[in-house]
Every structure is written in C-alpha cells, then in structure tokens.
A = this chain, B = another copy of it.
Amino acid sequence: MRTNYPLNCWYVAALSDEVGEGLLARRLLDKHVVLYRRASGEVVALEDRCVHRAYPLSEGRLDGDRVVCGYHGFSYNPDGCLADVPSQENVPPGARVPAYPVVETAPFIWIWLGEPRAAALRPPPRVPWYLDGTGWTGSTEVLRVEANYLLLHEHYLDLTDVFVTRPEMVPPDIQQLPPLNEVEISERSVAYTRVTQPSRLAPWESAITGLPEETVAVRREEGTFVSPALHTQHYAIDVIDGKSYELLRIHGFTPESPGATHVFLQLARNYDSAEDSITEYLRIMFHEWAIRNATILETIQRRLDEPGGRRRDINVKADRAAIRARRIAMDMVDDETSRFN
C-alpha cells in the first residue's frame, strides 16, 4: 500500500501511563520504537534495533538511564549513542541508534519521527477546549485497528452512520441530522459544526446528566481534524433554559503501518467530575462504540486491500469534511515527497 501519512507531524506515541518502569515497544509510521523513562521521569524514544545484529532493544533491560540489549549486552545512552560493548574495551566510534524528539502533555506522549531539525519548528497540537486544571475529567483507552488512519479520520468526521450502527444513541425527536456547517480553520485543519433541533434526551444522555428523559435540549456538535494525528469531537447538550453539559472525545490516530492504526482515545466532560459512575458509563459506552466502528473499518480495509479493491467511491454531502481532511493529509504527503526525495 502506498504510504499516505506525513512524517513531519507530531503523533501520539503512547499514553503517559503506558510508559512505566520498563521498556515499551511500539511500531509507529512503520518504524520500530522503544519508549522508556529516565530516572528523572522524562520519556526517551529510540529506534528499537541494536546496531549490532538487529535484535530489538525492547527485548533487553534498563540499567539506570541506559538500555541494554538482550543479545550481546550492548548498551545505549538516552541520546541513542552506543555506550558499552561488553566483549571489548572500546566502543566503535559514532555507533548509535536514532533518538526521536518526544514531548509529554499528559495523557499523551507525542513523538516526532520526521526530519529531526523540523521538530522544533512546530509544537504538538493542542486540543481545543481541553486544558489541564479547568475541571475536565474522564478516561483514556488504547486500541489497535487494522485499517488505514484516514479511514478513521473519515469515519469520525461524518457521524451520520449512527442512525444505522447505533440508533439507540440518537435523541428520540431527531429523524435526520441537519447538514454540516463546515468551517475551514486553517490550511492544515478542518472543522464542522452542527446544531440540532430541540429534542428530548436519549437514554444515555439521561444517564450521564441525571436528568429525566423528558428534558428538552439542543446539541451542538463540533468535529475537528486538528492534524493528521488528531481528531477531536465536542458534543454539548444545552438544556433549554438550563445548564450545558459538554463532552469531549479526543482521538490520537497514529499509523502503525499503512494498514493499521493505533487509536489513543481520551474522553472528558466538564461537569460532575467527582462522579466515577458517570466516568465509567461513558468509558464503557464509547469503548463499545469504538469496537463496533473498528470492525466496520477493518472490513472495509480488507476489501480495499484485495486486487482491484481500490475503486473510486461515490461521495455525498455528509462527506464534505472527510474529503477535505483527506486532501489536507495527501497535500502534506506530496509536499514532503517533493521536498525530501
């Protein structure tokens, strides 16, 4: 499959709590990476391959801030430089594995796998609305989906499938979603908004707000393709003459390879932060939804991967944001290809 993700982009490598005391192996943009923390807590990301015989460093062990290969014991400093070869006194000069820039903004650990000098020019994207210490609370999850990352972006930028795949989630007085109000935020991102007509609450909305199902509210929905690495969805239940209940679903989409994607999911809400039962309700509901979506996208990916499977689709109006997002990603890829090759 042709690579369709840009390299010069910050991607989520892991959730903060995935990198603990040991070594975490993860394949990101078709590269093998090993992640660990120094004694100081700072995250290190190195190519997961000993320079000697290609054995994965993640099969070895940590010795202080160094990684020790599990085959012949070669050890590496956090900057990737080979520091010790046990069978001899000297170290071959200049021997090293690539070290990748990393920025931790909990709950995400961001990595830069592109041209090293370009990393400092752009910071990892920030999630709209969501800022630490402003009262948002929620849960996180990691999934691996055997589908290209753009299928995931496209899926989450057009939620009209919910009437078919999860009809029980649609508020009872809504028969059809109003059309998208697409807003291009910049040349590298795309967002849509949608405000629904007033409706009583769906059972899940009643459960997470504690309001009776007869309560009438409008919903404001905003989906954003922040970058090829990040999708956010903001969903506000605005009770008529009442309070506003806001939910955030933040998706880090990181290609493992052209055919598989790591999904780093963060759920958050801005109310009743002490109510663990609401956190748990949302966690289970969105987990089940994510699994259902993954199954659909994996089925589509298998079909696209068959000989002759990559035919032209027909698009409809609801696909406008998705099409724009794909174009942005492909432009970034073309841009890299012409600049670096």
| Interface size of A in residues (CB-CB distance below 8 Å) | 47
A124-132, A158-166, A184-192: which lies at the interface: A158-166
Q: Does A313 contact B (CB under 8 A)?
A: yes
Distance of A52 Cα from B158 Cα, bound (Å): 13
- Which residues of A (290-310) have their CB < 8 Å from a CB of B? 296, 299-300, 303-304, 307, 309
Task: List 20 interface pairs A-B (beta carbons < 8 Å), by A numbering.
Answer: A49-B303, A52-B314, A52-B315, A52-B316, A53-B154, A53-B313, A54-B309, A55-B299, A55-B300, A56-B299, A70-B296, A71-B165, A72-B158, A72-B318, A73-B163, A82-B314, A87-B176, A87-B318, A92-B316, A95-B314
State A238–B51 Cα separation when bound (angstroms).
Answer: 37
A314 touching B92, Cβ below 8 Å: yes
Is A59 among interface residues, defined by CB-CB distance under 8 A? yes
The reply on A85 being an interface residue by CB < 8 A is: yes
Complex formed: what's the CA distance from A176 to B163 in Å? 68
Contact with B along A57-68 (1 / 0, CB 8 A): 001000000001
- Smallest distance from the beta carbon of A289 to chain B beta carbons, Å? 14
Inter-chain CA distance A82–B304, complex, in Å, is 21
* CB contact between A176 and one of B86, B161, B176, B316 (< 8 Å): that residue: B86
Contact of B71 with A177 in the complex, beta carbons under 8 Å: no
Does chain B have a CB within 8 A of A32?
yes
B52–A299 CB distance below 8 A: no
List chain B residues, Cβ under 8 A from A59.
296, 299
Q: Nearest chain-B residue to A68 (Cβ)? A: B164
